[in-house]
Amino acid sequence: NQIFGLYGRQLEELDRLLGVRIAGFKTDRIYILGAVVAGALLTMLLTVVISRTITTQIASILSVFGRLGIGDFNARANVDSTDELGELATSLNAMLDNITGLFQSQDERDRIQAAVQKLLIDVSGVSKGDLTAEAEVTADMTGAIADSFNMMILELRRVIGEAQTA
pLDDT in tens, the chain (166 residues): 888 888 888 999 999 999 999 999 999 999 999 999 999 999 999 999 989 888 888 888 899 888 888 888 888 988 888 888 889 999 999 998 888 887 777 778 788 888 888 888 877 777 777 777 787 887 777 788 888 888 888 888 888 888 888 8
Q: What is the DSSP string of the chain?
A: -HHHHHHHHHHHHHHHHHHHHHHHHHHHHHHHHHHHHHHHHHHHHHHHHHHHHHHHHHHHHHHHHHHHHTT-TT-------SSHHHHHHHHHHHHHHHHHHHHHHHHHHHHHHHHHHHHHHHHGGGGGT-TT--PPP-SSTHHHHHHHHHHHHHHHHHHHHHHHH-
Helix axes 142-165, 84-123, angle to 10 degrees: 10
Of 26, 23, 45, the closest CA to residue 34 belongs to: 26
pLDDT of residue 82: 84
Q: Classify 71 in phi/psi space as left (phi over 0), alpha (psi -120 to 50) or beta.
A: left
pTM of the entire predicted model: 0.50
Q: CA-CA distance, 21 to 79, in Å (whole number)?
A: 57
pLDDT of residue 20: 94
